[in-house]
Amino acid sequence: MTATDRATELVEAAAQAAADKLAHDIIAYDVSDVLAITDAFLLASAPSDRQVRSIVDGIEEALQNDLGVKPVRREGEREGRWVLLDYVDIVVHVQHAEERVFYALERLWKDCPVIGLPEDATATRGRAVEHARENEAAEAAGSGAQGGELR
């Protein structure tokens, strides 16, 4: 079994909306052979909580306006670190870069077929790791400026 045409249409529209909001590491997997609950997962990330929320809003707006669909479930919005949008046919995960690296959802679905996406949606692959390292370095530099270690 492969993802339905409807799932592919939703994934492509959501990926384009995420790219329009400057999401990074956008990738989609056809999980229809291994999961009965959905056909596809779309993963995207951003370097800040605010941008995660902006990407989520952009995806919701695009799918509502262009395809007339709303998510049946939405989780994680309050924290803004990992937001899940469940459209039944697809599930969208938008994660802060640090969560993306830590949870590494790609490892779970690496054996599933990748769904082709618009070129500008795939242009930023590999940026989550870069952003997570930048955030760690900034935090380390910030903690050193606050007085250093206690002895």
Encode pLDDT of 57-73 as tens digits.
Answer: 999 999 999 999 999 99
d(CA 78, CA 81): 9
Which pLDDT value is given to residue 135?
A: 61
Min mean pLDDT across 47-51, 53-57, 71-75, 116-120 is at: 116-120
Which pLDDT value is given to residue 148?
A: 45
Question: Strand, helix or coil at 90?
Answer: strand
Question: Which structure tokens are listed for 132?
Answer: 């997570």
Question: Which structure tokens are listed for 113?
Answer: 């077929």
pTM, rounded to two decimals? 0.82
> Which DSSP letter does residue 151 get?
-
Contacts of 123 by beta carbon, 8 Å cutoff, 6+ apart:
19
d(CA 139, CA 22): 23
pLDDT tens sequence across 59-118: 999 999 999 999 999 999 788 899 999 999 999 999 999 999 999 999 999 999 999 998
- Residues in a beta bridge with 83: 94
Domains, the chain, in order of start with CATH, read: 5-143 (3.30.460.10)
Instruction: Using alpha carbons, select from 41, 19, 4 the residue that is nearest to residue 119.
Output: 19
Contacts of 46 by beta carbon, 8 Å cutoff, 6+ apart:
22, 23, 24, 52, 54, 55, 94, 95, 96, 97
